[in-house]
Amino acid sequence: MAELVRPGVRAGLAAAAAAYAERRTALLDALAGHGIDAAGRSGLNVWVPVDEEQPVVAGLAERGWAVRPGEPFRLAAGPAVRITTAALPVADAAALAADVAAVPPARGRTRSA
């Protein structure tokens, strides 16, 4: 616990939290721009509802993105993919969102893309 009160540690943690929030928000905003209603209020991941997980995972892999099917991470939610944004550059959020929109349609779409 003493490590957390050392000078600079809290500032470093705050900077990391801000960077992760910026990456997550950039992807959520980019997905929303394609009419995809994804979720991710905190943390390192974005949850994107889909009709079927495996075709979306495979389609994104063909486009160079590694995402996880949601099944191992859900209790009662429907099918989804889990996209980790921890290392996603903000500049790449728009390209990833466009590729998500190009694979089989997500259930969470709010409007036609």
* CA 42/CA 57 separation, integer angstroms: 22
Query: Over the stretch 20-68, which tens digit does the pLDDT of each residue have?
Result: 999 999 999 999 999 999 999 888 999 999 999 999 999 999 999 999 9
Residue 108 has pLDDT above 80, yes or no: no
Q: What tokens appear for 62 in the block?
A: 């063909």
At residue 8 the predicted structure's pLDDT band, cuts being 50, 70 and 90, is confident
Please report the pLDDT score of residue 3 as a whole number. Answer: 67
For residue 95, the Cα-to-chain-centroid distance in whole angstroms is 13
For the chain, what are the domain ranges? 2-102
Region 106-111: mean pLDDT is 50
Q: Which of 55, 102, 43, 113 is nearest to 80 (CA)?
A: 55
Fold of 2-102: Aspartate Aminotransferase, domain 1 (3.90.1150)
Neighbours of 110 (CB within 10 A): 11
Q: What percent of the chain has pLDDT over 70?
A: 88
